[in-house]
Amino acid sequence: MKKLKIGNDYQQIRIVQQLNKPMSMPKNHITEPHAINRWPAWLDITQGVTGLALVLFMWVHMLMVSSILLGNDVFYFVARMFEGQYIFGRPYPLLVSFFAAAIFVIFSVHALVAIRHIPNSYREYRAIWQHSRSLQHADTTLWLIQVITGLLLMFFASVHLYGVFTHPGDIGPYASSDRIVSGVMWPLYLVLLFAVELHAGIGIYRLALKWGWPSGKNPRQMRRILSRAKWAISIFFIVLGLLTLSAYIKIGIEHREHAGERYLPAALQSLQHTPSEPRPEN
């Protein structure tokens, strides 16, 4: 019960009258705001744009990394391509560092704006957990998976990006495999694989629903199609990732005795000692 401060009888009568009088009519005329604060809108747009950019990047990244399945030479070609070898005539690993730094910036911005929505107290965690268990609703459960995978990515992806940023030249059939096996990075990549592909698949599905693109004539049917597509894409990339990781582990185990030695395609072996080659290949 709200406690009233009453100074004298008149005041008491006035308050009682106010409490009992019929509700005053709400204002129905317009008061246009002078200036609106667009920050909440910008944050929401930024979350979507950075998320979309990261999803597209991760899918391309997975396809490029999985080129190892087509053979060591193919992945060697891909790695040199991103170092600008076929544009500048020689590899510049610094390009990879720049790229990793750019991705890290986008990744950080996405994490910073997305963190607004995740539970930030024990009460909120308990509320969403109980709600999810009680409701048994697929999209609510998927959101919790997004929260968990997002938190995992904040730590695990940062380690990976830092590694790529500081050692941009260590990407190649042997260098990558040695890092995974002899450098014992495979557990990190295994966690990253599931976290990224689940987060990306669910994220792009939610992004589409959030902004209503594509809507179509029957939005509910479109949602079902998007949901199936989300699972298909996530499963495709997880299977591709597991095959790819297995291929690197196999190479890493076979190459364990020579860890640190770089891969050189047969076509380039004759040039191995040519003075014009400034650095050994990976």
Partner 1 sequence: MQLTESTPAPRSLRIHVLRHNPQDPQSHPHMQTFNIEEADGMTLFIALNEIRETQDPALQFDFVCRAGICGSCGMLINGRPGLACRTLTKDLDADIYLAPLPLFELIGDLSVDTGKWMRGMSERLETWIHTQQDEPDLDALEARMEPELAQNIYELERCIECGCCIAACGTARMREEFVGAVGLNKIARFRLDPRDARSDAAFYELIGNENGVFGCMSLLGCEDICPKDLPLSTQLAFIRRKMAFIH
Asked whether 201 and 231 are in contact (CB, 8 A), the reply is yes
C-alpha–C-alpha distance, residues 62 and 69, integer Å? 12
Tell me the closest approach of the beta carbon of residue 114 to partner 1, in angstroms. Answer: 10
Task: Closer to partner 1 by CB, 46 or 85: give it.
Answer: 46
Task: Closer to partner 1 by CB, 40 or 187: give it.
Answer: 40
Binding mask 215-234 for partner 1 (x = CB under 8 A): x---xx--x-----------
Chain residues 45-74 in contact with partner 1, contact rule CB under 8 A: 45
Tell me the closest approach of the beta carbon of residue 2 to partner 1, in angstroms. Answer: 15
Three-class SS string for 186-231? HHHHHHHHHHHHHHHHHHHHHHHHHHCCCCCCCHHHHHHHHHHHHH
Residue 40 in the binding site for partner 1 (CB under 8 A) = yes
Those residues with Cβ within 8 angstroms of residue 216's Cβ, 6 or more apart along the chain or in another chain: 222
Query: Which residue in the set 109, 148, 209, 268 belongs to the binding site for partner 1 (CB under 8 A)?
Result: 209
Residue 2 in the binding site for partner 1 (CB under 8 A) = no
Distances (CA, A) of 208 to 16, 33, 138, 214, 243: 54, 31, 16, 7, 29
**What residues line the site for partner 1 (CB under 8 A)?**
26, 28-33, 36-38, 40-41, 43-45, 116-117, 119, 124, 127-128, 131-137, 139-140, 143, 206, 209-213, 215, 219-220, 223
